Chains A and B, each alone.
Chain A
Amino acid sequence: MNLPNSVTEIIQGFENGKFSSQELTKAYLNRIDNLDPEINSFITVCHERALLDAKKADRSRANGSANKLTGVPYANKDIFCTKGVRTTSGSRMLDTFISPYDATIVERLGSQGMVMLGKTNMDEFAMGSSNETSFYGQVNNPWNTNCVPGGSSGGSAAAVSAGFTPVATGSDTGGSIRQPAAFCGISGLKPTYGRVSRYGMIAFASSLDQAGPMGRSVEDLAHLLAPMAGYDSRDSTSSMVKTEDYFGNLEDELKGKTIGLPKEYFSTNLDRQVEGVIEEAIKEFEKLGANIIEISLPTTSLSIPAYYVISSAECSSNLSRYDGVRYGHRCELPTDIEDLYKRTRSEGFGEEVKRRLLTGTYVLSSGYYDAYYRKAQQIRRLIKDDFANAFTQVDAVISPTAPTTAFKAGEHQDNPVEMYLGDCFTVASNLAGLPALSVPAGFVGGMPVGLQLIGSYFQESKLLTLGHMFQKSTGWHQHFSRDESKGAQ
């Protein structure tokens, strides 16, 4: 069968009896089995479980007890705990870890009757922008397998792009949904901090981490966001702000909307051709009736240093739980408790994670706390204030998602800082806790370019409208990296 191109098409297909969930699930599983060896986007594929869930979904469709999303296949980033299915967070530390419970979002998507195809590859503990730090091997970009898919949700992005799953979950601490979405030519949304529950999402930096949907179109993001969003008593940072109707306003006119163009974002390290694509996109928004004005986010140049201090500090604290005692890897025959901790952690963590743990430990250590951690938190407030100021004038802020298209694997191997600089457009919204969307906006040298729209707190719906109307008029989201008719048999 030819695989459908969107969740909307899948729902229609079920309703018209074009295919069953079992047929569709089998087709996606076949395509993964046939084509994923070249991409490596999955760590675990759940053949049996997915087919069982699809069978159940078909039964509820037949007896009228189905929800809208019942039977729709999807994939979870391997950062989300799944009861009975191993959850690795891309690390040797959790190579054999099987969670005794489901993450809230896994539970919610499951109770909609969605069918989990498997768990997608990711940078180890979500630390990385290239998906090269995974214990399970790098992921290759479906547009050019010599290039990285971005990270850390590189597996989810590559899987959606290659047509292995219609939608997938991701998590975003400094751009980990948006940058891989941009590199792989798909759409991705990082919701407002607190909009989606973090319960059961393996922690990297708790004040920045946020789960969100990834898919080919903004409409598909809305499909996935609706059940993911909302208050969860099991996450103390979950917001009680009411969720919106993510579909109701999708077709709203852009006339009267104001989009801010931060002058600082169009800086020297932005690739000229990427800039050209973004300029075209801006014209498109003007054509759709939006008003574009220049704004200033003066502290934005310091968002990467502040981000790396804060995220490393929080991760050094969060990852202290991996001690070889309660779960995860444990070294062989420890001689004493110190040896148990040190060897377990040295064997279980990869290089990038160790680097960040050391950085984080350093900036929190006595004598350096004020110069680094406190300073970074002060800058964090300035960044938040910059945005608050901007949102008195604009509905959204526009920028590229990343300064370049997907780079070659191994390109930033020797200098971690170069890799960090690629996050210059994405980290500020995590520091401020704002929602941000990435949508495909064109190509440079055959590789996709992503456009980012940042919104004010809990205005996901407004961002989705902007993204959807842009997609309706440009069709950039309908360019696919892989032939849709292959591999599903």
Chain B
Amino acid sequence: MPITEKEVRKIAQLARISIDDKDICSYEDQLNKILAFVDEMKAVETEGIIPLAHPSEETQKLRSDKVSEKNQRESYQSVAPTTENGLYLVPQVIE
């Protein structure tokens, strides 16, 4: 089933990307091309096959629950667009 203009707007909202009205059609067209080609997957029966999320078969190594990194807040915040008193600034969220 092809994706509609309404759905393109919905996913754009979910992805927090704004799309100009004039570009909606071209996204709709390209996404439909991509999905039509992805639909080839339907050709193979996968009933009962356990999905593979990751190629590694190793168990991830756990470390002890100890502080291993030093505090580098200043250095990490030095690349932020705006900060104040060690906090990241964003437009007001709660009235």
Residues in chain A within 8 A of chain B (CB atoms): 97-100, 193-194, 207, 233, 236-237, 239-241, 299, 301-302, 304-306, 308-309, 316, 320, 323-328, 330, 334-343, 345-346, 349, 354-355, 357-363, 365, 372, 374-382, 384, 415-417, 420, 431-434
**How many Å from the CB of A61 to the closest CB on chain B?**
33
**CB distance A97 to B79 under 8 Å?**
yes
**For B39, what are the chain A residues with a Cβ–Cβ distance below 8 Å?**
305
**Which one, B11, B55, B81, contacts A362 given CB within 8 A?**
B11
Could you jot down 15 A-B contacts, CB within 8 Å? A302-B44, A305-B38, A305-B40, A326-B88, A330-B82, A342-B16, A342-B18, A349-B17, A359-B31, A360-B15, A362-B3, A374-B51, A377-B51, A384-B52, A431-B55
**For A324, what are the chain B residues with a Cβ–Cβ distance below 8 Å?**
81
**How many Å from the CB of A132 to the closest CB on chain B?**
16
**CB distance B31 to A193 under 8 Å?**
no
**How many Å from the CB of B31 to the closest CB on chain A?**
6
Most buried by B among A98, A193, A354, A434: A354
Contact with A along B35-79 (1 / 0, CB 8 A): 101111111101001111111101011010000000010011011
**CB distance B53 to A415 under 8 Å?**
no
> Do A207 and B55 form a contact, CB below 8 Å, given A327-B80, A339-B91, A358-B17?
yes
Complex CA–CA separation, A237 to B61 (angstroms): 9
**For B14, what are the chain A residues with a Cβ–Cβ distance below 8 Å?**
361, 365
**How many Å from the CB of B11 to the closest CB on chain A?**
5
Complex CA–CA separation, A365 to B14 (angstroms): 9
Nearest residue (CB) in A for B51 is A377
**How many Å from the CB of A466 to the closest CB on chain B?**
22
**CB distance B72 to A100 under 8 Å?**
yes
**CB distance A239 to B56 under 8 Å?**
yes
Nearest residue (CB) in B for A96 is B79
Nearest residue (CB) in A for B47 is A378
**How many Å from the CB of B34 to the closest CB on chain A?**
6
Residues in chain B within 8 A of chain A (CB atoms): 3, 7-8, 11-12, 14-19, 27, 30-31, 33-35, 37-44, 46, 49-56, 58, 60-61, 63, 72, 75-76, 78-82, 88, 90-93
The 9 closest A-B pairs by CB, nearest first: A433-B55, A377-B51, A330-B81, A378-B46, A381-B52, A341-B16, A378-B49, A361-B15, A327-B79
Complex CA–CA separation, A479 to B41 (angstroms): 41
By DSSP majority rule, is chain B's interface helix, strand, loop, or mixed? loop
**Which one, B37, B58, B80, contacts A239 given CB within 8 A?**
B58
**CB distance A308 to B55 under 8 Å?**
no
Complex CA–CA separation, A463 to B91 (angstroms): 54
**CB distance B81 to A305 under 8 Å?**
no
**Which one, A193, A309, A330, A337, contacts B56 given CB within 8 A?**
A193
Task: Using A99-B79, A358-B17 as known contacts, list a sample of 4 further A-B pairs with CB atoms less than 8 Å apart, ordered by residue number in A.
Answer: A236-B60, A360-B15, A361-B15, A377-B53
**How many Å from the CB of B81 to the closest CB on chain A?**
4
**How many Å from the CB of A102 to the closest CB on chain B?**
13
**For A346, what are the chain B residues with a Cβ–Cβ distance below 8 Å?**
17-19
**Which one, A207, A241, A305, A349, contacts B37 given CB within 8 A?**
A305
**For A432, what are the chain B residues with a Cβ–Cβ distance below 8 Å?**
55
**CB distance A308 to B34 under 8 Å?**
yes
**CB distance B37 to A417 under 8 Å?**
yes
**For A382, what are the chain B residues with a Cβ–Cβ distance below 8 Å?**
44, 46, 49
**CB distance A372 to B38 under 8 Å?**
yes
**CB distance A325 to B38 under 8 Å?**
no
**CB distance A325 to B44 under 8 Å?**
no
Complex CA–CA separation, A337 to B49 (angstroms): 42
**CB distance A345 to B79 under 8 Å?**
no
**CB distance A335 to B91 under 8 Å?**
yes
**How many Å from the CB of A303 to the closest CB on chain B?**
10
**Which one, B3, B56, B72, contacts A433 given CB within 8 A?**
B56
**For A349, what are the chain B residues with a Cβ–Cβ distance below 8 Å?**
17
**For B37, what are the chain A residues with a Cβ–Cβ distance below 8 Å?**
304-305, 308, 417, 420
**For B50, what are the chain A residues with a Cβ–Cβ distance below 8 Å?**
378, 381
**For B8, what are the chain A residues with a Cβ–Cβ distance below 8 Å?**
358
> Do A358 and B27 form a contact, CB below 8 Å, given A302-B43, A316-B15, A379-B41?
yes
Complex CA–CA separation, A379 to B51 (angstroms): 8
Most buried by A among B12, B14, B16: B16
**How many Å from the CB of A459 to the closest CB on chain B?**
14
**For A363, what are the chain B residues with a Cβ–Cβ distance below 8 Å?**
38
Complex CA–CA separation, A378 to B82 (angstroms): 44
**CB distance B40 to A355 under 8 Å?**
no
**Which one, B33, B54, B82, contacts A417 given CB within 8 A?**
B33
**Which one, B38, B55, B91, contacts A309 given CB within 8 A?**
B38
Complex CA–CA separation, A346 to B8 (angstroms): 15
Complex CA–CA separation, A431 to B41 (angstroms): 15
Complex CA–CA separation, A379 to B37 (angstroms): 15
**For A334, what are the chain B residues with a Cβ–Cβ distance below 8 Å?**
91
**How many Å from the CB of A49 to the closest CB on chain B?**
19
**For B33, what are the chain A residues with a Cβ–Cβ distance below 8 Å?**
415-417
**CB distance B15 to A237 under 8 Å?**
no
Complex CA–CA separation, A236 to B61 (angstroms): 7
**CB distance B17 to A306 under 8 Å?**
no
**CB distance A194 to B56 under 8 Å?**
yes
**CB distance B79 to A98 under 8 Å?**
yes
**How many Å from the CB of A347 to the closest CB on chain B?**
9
